[in-house]
Structure 1
């Protein structure tokens, strides 16, 4: 009995070591091929979203395949064009206010340092303020550059979408793993879009009602960043803080700029989202955070947007096989029991 238990532990150790090595190898490959893989993954997601519209044209309307592809591409192009225009407008606004944003952040830090010096805490104020005023505009423009880089991949994404649509068999009913993946991603995208839109409208109305400058820009950033679970809402809530400190003298107004949007995020995240996302992705919050860190490290901001649906797909694939089912349970937050460990050891 002890020898069998020892063998199970050895098998677990060997499997775990191989999986770690495989993950490292795949990570290096994904980093090396990011310029191709990011557009390809985006094309897969876009194709998954528009597939019902394409299938309806081919099966029900009996359109020729090339006509259905052309019509679907026009819809995709129209949606991407609207999104690109919004990105360009936000990019121009961010670049226009980048220097002012850095100066306002520097003014905020100066006030903090004055408070610290009044308490006899000595800090090199001039150096830190200069670094903030120089680096904040750089970070803003770099972030906007990342968004513009995503737009520049649009041509390659469209090419991949064309080939994926031409290779799709609209008459074959999809079952099994791929059907679960398509359903999960469509539901996730629709539900997150509703949540992001609702959050952005409410936050935008609050910031506009408080008289905050660039309220529409911060609302747009809320809409985009809400697609990044957990982290995005925190970042979106804190972004208007330097503008609020520079614009308002009343500390209650400054607190309201952060507290009310934070309350909106908490209410929607804790009450609205769980009811709207009835099926859920069956991912534990720790799994979500680790996936955000992993894909953010590999693919940057784009990877953070794609992290959750990718991890949900990985969980679905792992759950389909008896050997890897304990890993899927682990991603869901359900630790595998002794029986499942023995199953894996076999």
Structure 2
């Protein structure tokens, strides 16, 4: 049929729209499930790393998985507690921050009035400062920004439960595939695809997590040195947002720097803090991360940006954090079948022999 390609294109677009709609309306259900699946990849890599250690390699795999799951549950619980406590404490000190910002604005307006500047230019600068900061409700702004982290914290319990059941059933998954498809060739193909996903996503997440922990520890030291409020919380946020490619590191620095300005009302103090945090981000992002991660995901930078925009629009902050692993999974699946391999090639940053 001459119209077959056009029909396939129309059907593909309809499928994409339907899937996108289901992802949007099913966000509250799907986000904890996908987060748990991604977390299982990380915990699986951690279990394999522990099994290679001299003493722990003699322990049963089930016991190692249980220990890793316990540590994971403890970490997410601490994160939830820190988020809840920080939101409460910031709400309590917000009036003081508001007063500091108003004092800073008054000083800026005084300096503008005293400066030897043309009257029209002075009025433009004063109007810009007034429009930008004049009607700022700092408490409402901070709580709205932290609201996304609170939403993530609310689904943490489900993530831990899902991850626990997935870890328990992981060893039997290969047998289920064989029994479900029957055909040995098809079963082997699907097993290879899942194995490739497990290997690449697991390696990426484990190394990326280590990098983020290093970055978070460095930033924690910087924040404590400058006397920033809620240093532990902002260090966790910096480590978490660094999972988001490109824009995550910028957002991670912007939040504590903005709060430091509200805390101290000092432009010099805030500029020094921003300079140190940006330096840490640049060193880790441009020197340490390329050497540790390399090009494991093999995704085009443009594709990463598009995936970041799409998943952020669908699922918000969780979608932005999960964008790279989910896009990499889709690429691996597309590259495993001859009919869709061209899509994987178009999404890749480089053409490997396997493509």
TM-score norm. by structure 1 comes to: 0.77
> Superposition pairs for residues 128-143 of structure 1, below 5 Å?
129-143=134-148
Query: Higher mean Cα deviation, 85-94 or 101-110?
Result: 101-110
Deviation of 1:186 after TM superposition, in Å, equals 0.7
Query: Higher mean Cα deviation, 91-100 or 282-291?
Result: 91-100
**Matched-pair contact (CA < 8 Å) for 1:105–1:242:** no
Call closer, same or farther: CA 1:144–1:334 in 2, change over 3 Å: closer
Q: Which runs of 5+ in 2 are unaligned?
A: 52-56, 114-121, 179-187
Q: Among 241, 245, 255, which residue is 1:239 paired with?
A: 255
> Superposition pairs for residues 81-230 of structure 1, below 5 Å?
81-98=74-91, 100-101=93-94, 104=97, 107-108=100-101, 111=104, 115=109, 118=113, 119-121=122-124, 122=127, 125=130, 129-154=134-159, 156-158=161-163, 160-161=165-166, 164-165=169-170, 167-169=172-174, 176-230=192-246
Any idea what the Cα deviations from partners look like across 1:216-237, whole Å, max 9, x if unmatched?
Answer: 2221211111122222211110
Call closer, same or farther: CA 1:324–1:169 in 2, change over 3 Å: closer
What's 1:344 paired with? none
**Matched-pair contact (CA < 8 Å) for 1:106–1:133:** no
The whole-number CA distance in structure 1 between the counterparts of 2:194 and 2:94 is: 46
What's 1:48 paired with? 41
**Matched-pair contact (CA < 8 Å) for 2:174–2:191:** no
Is the partner of 1:120 in helix, strand or coil? helix
Q: Among 19, 22, 39, which residue is 1:26 paired with?
A: 19
Matched positions, count: 320
1:286 aligns with 2:302: yes
Deviation of 1:30 after TM superposition, in Å, equals 1.6
Is the partner of 1:138 in helix, strand or coil? helix
**Matched-pair contact (CA < 8 Å) for 2:300–2:349:** yes
> Superposition pairs for residues 63-74 of structure 1, below 5 Å?
72-73=65-66
Call closer, same or farther: CA 1:298–1:160 in 2, change over 3 Å: farther
TM-score norm. by structure 2 comes to: 0.75
Call closer, same or farther: CA 1:319–1:162 in 2, change over 3 Å: closer
Call closer, same or farther: CA 1:276–1:120 in 2, change over 3 Å: same
1:315 aligns with 2:308: no
Any idea what the Cα deviations from partners look like across 1:248-287, whole Å, max 9, x if unmatched?
Answer: 4653322111122112112211121111013421112222
Is the partner of 2:155 in helix, strand or coil? helix
**Matched-pair contact (CA < 8 Å) for 1:106–1:130:** no
Call closer, same or farther: CA 1:304–1:323 in 2, change over 3 Å: same
What's 2:68 paired with? 75
The whole-number CA distance in structure 2 between the counterparts of 1:268 and 1:195 is: 8
What's 2:31 paired with? 38
The whole-number CA distance in structure 1 between the counterparts of 2:131 and 2:297 is: 48
Deviation of 1:110 after TM superposition, in Å, equals 7.3
Q: Which runs of 5+ in 1 are unaligned?
A: 1-6, 341-346
Is the partner of 2:173 in helix, strand or coil? coil
1:264 aligns with 2:280: yes
Call closer, same or farther: CA 1:101–1:311 in 2, change over 3 Å: farther
**Matched-pair contact (CA < 8 Å) for 1:240–1:257:** no
Query: Higher mean Cα deviation, 132-141 or 108-117?
Result: 108-117
Call closer, same or farther: CA 1:304–1:250 in 2, change over 3 Å: closer
